[in-house]
Chains A and B, each alone.
Chain A
């Protein structure tokens, strides 16, 4: 492995396809504009474009070299500007093995090696054989703790961490529930809306609307709008259903000596390796649809980039019964202290929660109702928003253990975060003028995650409790002079409270 190697030639094709995917909109616009002019040598342009991309792909493949030596991955890349990338194994956060459809046709995989920081996006080998990927993975992962043991012992140790200690699968029933209650629903809806807004001028001219109009039972405009919205929702739901099904099908979670391996995907298979000592935080999310059903999903924050959007969130378990979360986490992360006595915001914070949630919605509703003569039914939204505020108040809580913080809060879904104190990048206490009047404060903890980090926040805690939490994060535990020692009567709550 100490010689420089090229990737499998398929990398050239997949590279070209990546370029097409990256510039999809540009190409589409180009084609549309082109198709309208008469003199445009259409086929020539398309053929030429593809040939150009293919040449680019081949050149990239030719100039891309990698080797592994001394527990370090060295990648040389770039057609004209040569780039040398050195990755040492101590800095690796996450190793990611993906196989897309093209790679799978040739029995190949894509290997992503993520370090903290955004430059890691270039540390990817597009197409190598599965065996080689696993070999590189093993070389880079072995003996992280004991690097100075003799050679023969290392080979012994190298086998041991690969042993799977425990394996969790996602049952089919849970997969189906996960797919049908998936949060990507909203995203799918917005995609459809965008497409529709583009296509709408075309079909409104056609007989399509007339046809729909005749099909529908009641021929009023309102009925029409409602049924169109319903059709949209069904479509969006179908899209999110199948995308979740394909993403999380074949899900399995393997626990090894010092790392967790998540593998998932039906068409595009993904295999993510996270060493235990690189986990920045764990958070459990109970979505608004999933919570009443008693289900939640578990995420993990890593300092690698995770998904393409630059956040470091990795789905650790897509759907799990609330009552089983603690069992799973106990198996997975025994060193995380899980049950605590949490502090809740005091009663006088409730009105702030209600006001924050309801104010804008009520104002907008009033405007619509009196200004634009909307139906009386829209007053249901302010009522819901008050309920929402009350839920947020109920769910806000924080607790500090020996080496861990637990922060629970709700935006739309309820999220419970476990953060090791030594993983906190910065801890902030904020007081607005109104909070100062009522002696309240908000706290916010940042952990490293992807490019920008991720923050967890609990609003309107007692000022003294906020200071205590901040003081807990301090290593030398200096007492703040503002800290009141008297025992304020607090509302306590057992965390995490998943029953």
Chain B
């Protein structure tokens, strides 16, 4: 017997994460803005605002141009008749096994960004936890969902 067949996510996932982080992390600039609003921009406070804003700017840029690539590079998933196997993580590498007999329900989800790129995410819930395969081609996502629910039905056992 050998290692199960691992798949990668679609490269389009990178674009989705880039846009998502571009918009989502803009929010953090509210921190120096709020600081400036409360304390003003004189002397010491001016430098505080400049420093926090530039740190946030650097992290923002990294979250657009670096982490999506690394995240995509590290994501792997495999599905067979018995288990779902997920590998992910940039710094903290995580590997999760979900026995298919424990899967309660699977669904596909699609936000506006994912829809634009014609992608979907697949969410797998057990009685204890919920896991997500974040960005798959919509057609593929539906196939994965069907595959998981078929296997799960075959592996049916009581909670």
Binding site for B on A (CB under 8 A): 90, 93, 116, 277-278, 303, 422, 424-433, 436, 446-449, 452-455, 470, 473-481
Chain A residue with Cβ nearest B157: A422
A475 touches B128 (CB 8 A): no
Question: Is B158 in contact with chain A by the CB < 8 A criterion?
Answer: yes
- If A426-B98, A475-B83, A477-B1 touch, whether A116 touches B127 (CB-CB below 8 Å) is yes
B97 touches A470 (CB 8 A): yes
Question: Is B126 in contact with chain A by the CB < 8 A criterion?
Answer: yes
A476 touches B2 (CB 8 A): no
Question: Is B82 in contact with chain A by the CB < 8 A criterion?
Answer: yes
Contact of B93 among A436, A454, A481 (CB under 8 A): A436
A426 touches B93 (CB 8 A): no
Cα-based distance from A436 to B94 in the complex (angstroms): 11
Q: Report B126 CB to chain A, min CB distance, Å.
A: 4
Q: Which of A427, A436, A479 lies at the interface centre, i.e. has the most chain B CB atoms within 10 A of its CB?
A: A427
A478 touches B1 (CB 8 A): yes
A454 touches B94 (CB 8 A): no
B129 touches A446 (CB 8 A): yes
Chain A residue with Cβ nearest B101: A422
B1 touches A452 (CB 8 A): no
Chain B residue with Cβ nearest A479: B1
B92 touches A454 (CB 8 A): no
Question: Is B115 in contact with chain A by the CB < 8 A criterion?
Answer: no
Chain A residue with Cβ nearest B96: A428
Instruction: List A contacts of B4 (CB < 8 A).
Output: 478
Instruction: List A contacts of B45 (CB < 8 A).
Output: none
Cα-based distance from A480 to B159 in the complex (angstroms): 27
Cα-based distance from A433 to B94 in the complex (angstroms): 11
Contact of B128 among A277, A448, A474 (CB under 8 A): A448
Binding site for A on B (CB under 8 A): 1-4, 80-83, 89, 91-99, 101-102, 126-129, 131, 157-159
Majority SS of interface residues in chain A? mixed
A476 touches B82 (CB 8 A): yes
Instruction: List B contacts of A277 (CB < 8 A).
Output: 158
A428 touches B2 (CB 8 A): no
Number of A-B contacts (CB under 8 A): 95
B128 touches A447 (CB 8 A): yes
Using A428-B95, A431-B92, A480-B3 as known contacts, list a sample of 12 further A-B pairs with CB atoms less than 8 Å apart, ordered by residue number in A. Answer: A116-B159, A303-B127, A424-B99, A425-B98, A426-B131, A427-B96, A429-B96, A446-B126, A446-B128, A448-B127, A474-B83, A481-B3
What are 8 pairs between A and B in contact, CB < 8 Å? A90-B158, A425-B102, A427-B96, A428-B96, A448-B128, A453-B127, A474-B82, A477-B1
Cα-based distance from A481 to B3 in the complex (angstroms): 6
Chain A residue with Cβ nearest B2: A478
- If A473-B99, A478-B1 touch, whether A426 touches B82 (CB-CB below 8 Å) is no
A426 touches B95 (CB 8 A): no
Q: Which of B1, B97, B128, B157 lies at the interface centre, i.e. has the most chain A CB atoms within 10 A of its CB?
A: B128
Q: Report B65 CB to chain A, min CB distance, Å.
A: 21
Contact of B159 among A303, A428, A446, A474 (CB under 8 A): A303
Contact of B82 among A425, A433, A449, A475 (CB under 8 A): A475
A425 touches B128 (CB 8 A): yes
Cα-based distance from A427 to B86 in the complex (angstroms): 10
Chain A residue with Cβ nearest B95: A429
Chain A residue with Cβ nearest B158: A277
Instruction: List B contacts of A90 (CB < 8 A).
Output: 158
Q: Report A88 CB to chain B, min CB distance, Å.
A: 12
Instruction: List A contacts of B3 (CB < 8 A).
Output: 478-481
Instruction: List A contacts of B2 (CB < 8 A).
Output: 478-479, 481
Cα-based distance from A47 to B95 in the complex (angstroms): 60
Chain A residue with Cβ nearest B92: A432
Cα-based distance from A90 to B95 in the complex (angstroms): 33
Cα-based distance from A93 to B127 in the complex (angstroms): 13
Contact of A452 among B99, B128, B157, B159 (CB under 8 A): B128
B95 touches A433 (CB 8 A): no
Chain B residue with Cβ nearest A446: B128
B93 touches A425 (CB 8 A): no
B159 touches A93 (CB 8 A): yes
Q: Report A440 CB to chain B, min CB distance, Å.
A: 12
B158 touches A474 (CB 8 A): no
- If A425-B102, A474-B83, A475-B99 touch, whether A430 touches B94 (CB-CB below 8 Å) is yes
Instruction: List A contacts of B89 (CB < 8 A).
Output: 430-431
Chain A residue with Cβ nearest B82: A475
6 closest A-B pairs by beta carbon, nearest first, are A453-B128, A448-B127, A425-B128, A425-B126, A446-B128, A475-B82
A448 touches B83 (CB 8 A): no
Cα-based distance from A361 to B157 in the complex (angstroms): 47
- If A303-B159, A448-B127 touch, whether A424 touches B95 (CB-CB below 8 Å) is no
Chain B residue with Cβ nearest A302: B159
Cα-based distance from A432 to B91 in the complex (angstroms): 6
Q: Report B159 CB to chain A, min CB distance, Å.
A: 5
Cα-based distance from A116 to B104 in the complex (angstroms): 11
Q: Report B158 CB to chain A, min CB distance, Å.
A: 7
B94 touches A426 (CB 8 A): no
